[in-house]
């Protein structure tokens, strides 16, 4: 087989791996060299040195090359092709197994992951998730990020979304003295002085987690991961609340919203309930609920006599995911939880708070 025909076949196969023409050309030059500097690769491929760095970053992400950052200038080296192919095949098989299991469990809900490497892309993704929020948002972020996301957060508050914000790093005294910045942009705000990873969880349906330095803009090569999958996002919230939220100091609490309010999740209902109860405002709750010892849904209404929650001080739950209401219905007291309830008497499908 002639070298030109062999090269054409290689290019054709690499295109099937979603590599661009320039990425393929650069990769083949690195293969021919074995290893080399960006200048050498740029000269051989007849492209600019700056463009080489961008292409090499993509090739490194795909696993085709490795970059020796400890040398000056940096050395780019091709990885053994069979080793690369083995990894690609292994990754595809692993993804295939995951997708098959997921499809068998619930064909209507798929897992999606995105690895994000730029701050602007991360901010765009965060704004999109905030814009999609229907009932609640949890956000762990430094001050600069809050400032940039504030317009999107304000729009979410206008849609009656409950927003729980943990501001990390920053000057505590400055944050406490300027709490007016949170009005119309958050429901509950806490502060913790440590530069923690940034986290967003939306409606138990989607979330992001990433390096604090990426979102703060201090280390551009840091990564973040975007997740869309109910159970993984629930786990993200569980880690967020049990890990970071409890370390923060409460510095802002929004006034309660006007009633009636209807929710399909128990947590935002519990938080609005506690805001009213904290102001000695008696409220009732009406829920479409299913008893845990049965399967027929019914309407229940009662006075809210206790709120179980872990986001507003003082917290009243025993573990991070425990949220609910205790209602007085006639002579009986019953506990109402949300999706996944197992300690309560009822699991609420929707719940309305009213005076």
pLDDT tens for 146-182 read 888 999 999 999 999 999 999 887 666 766 667 888 9
Query: How confident is the model at residue 13, as a pLDDT?
Result: 73
Contacts of 38 (CB under 8 A, 6+ apart): 49, 52, 53, 56, 73, 74, 76
Could you give the percent of the chain with pLDDT greater than 90? 29
Rounded Cα distance between 284 and 273, Å, is 9
CA angle 54, 60, 61 (to 5 degrees): 95
Kindly indicate the confidence band of residue 210, based on its pLDDT and cuts at 50, 70 and 90: confident
Could you give the percent of the chain with pLDDT greater than 70? 81
Q: Which helix (DSSP H) or strand (DSSP E) does residue 241 occupy?
A: none
Q: Give the bridge partners for 201, in sequence order.
A: 138, 207
Rounded Cα distance between 130 and 218, Å, is 23
* Alpha carbon 59 to its chain's center: 27
pTM: 0.65
Q: Assess contact for 74 and 67: CB atoms under 8 A.
A: yes
Query: How confident is the model at residue 248, as a pLDDT?
Result: 86
> What is the bridge-based pairing of β-strands 298-308 and 198-202?
unpaired
* Alpha carbon 55 to its chain's center: 28
Query: How confident is the model at residue 176, as a pLDDT?
Result: 67
Kindly indicate the confidence band of residue 276, based on its pLDDT and cuts at 50, 70 and 90: very high
Is residue 107 scored above 50 in pLDDT? no
C-alpha distances (whole Å) from 171 to each of 57, 71, 112, 177, 322 are 36, 39, 37, 10, 32
Q: What is the mean pLDDT of the chain?
A: 82
Is residue 341 scored above 90 in pLDDT? no
Between 4-8, 10-14, 51-55, the lowest mean confidence (pLDDT) is in 4-8
């Amino acid at each position: 087989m002639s070298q030109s025909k062999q090269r054409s076949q290689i290019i054709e196969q690499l295109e099937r791996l979603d590599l661009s023409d320039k990425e393929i050309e650069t990769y083949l030059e690195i293969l021919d060299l074995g290893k080399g500097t960006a200048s050498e690769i740029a000269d051989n491929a007849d492209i600019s040195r700056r463009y080489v760095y961008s292409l090499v970053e993509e090739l490194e992400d795909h696993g085709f090359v490795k970059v020796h950052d400890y040398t000056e200038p940096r050395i780019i080296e091709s990885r053994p092709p069979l080793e690369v192919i083995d990894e690609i095949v292994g990754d595809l098989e692993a993804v295939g197994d995951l997708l098959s299991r997921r499809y068998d469990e619930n064909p209507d809900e798929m897992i999606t992951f995105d690895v994000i490497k730029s701050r602007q892309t991360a901010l765009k993704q965060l704004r999109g998730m905030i814009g999609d929020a229907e009932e609640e948002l949890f956000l762990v972020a430094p001050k600069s990020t809050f400032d940039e996301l504030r317009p999107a957060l304000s729009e979410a508050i206008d849609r009656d979304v409950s927003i729980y914000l943990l501001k990390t790093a920053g000057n505590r005294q400055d944050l406490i003295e300027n709490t007016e910045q949170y009005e119309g942009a958050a429901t509950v705000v806490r502060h913790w002085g440590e530069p923690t990873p940034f986290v967003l969880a939306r409606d138990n349906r989607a979330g992001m987690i990433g390096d604090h330095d990426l979102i703060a803009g201090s280390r551009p090569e840091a990564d973040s991961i975007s997740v869309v999958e109910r159970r993984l996002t629930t786990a993200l919230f569980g880690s967020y609340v049990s890990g970071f939220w409890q370390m923060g100091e409460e510095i802002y609490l929004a006034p309660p919203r006007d009633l009636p309010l209807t929710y399909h999740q128990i947590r935002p209902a519990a938080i609005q309930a506690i805001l009213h109860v904290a102001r000695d405002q008696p409220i009732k709750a009406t829920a479409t609920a299913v008893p845990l010892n049965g399967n027929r849904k019914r309407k229940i209404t009662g006075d809210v006599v206790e709120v179980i929650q872990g986001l507003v001080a003082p917290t009243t739950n025993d573990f991070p995911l425990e949220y609910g209401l205790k209602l007085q219905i006639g002579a009986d007291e019953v506990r109402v939880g949300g999706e996944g309830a197992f300690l309560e008497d009822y699991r609420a499908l929707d719940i309305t708070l009213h005076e």
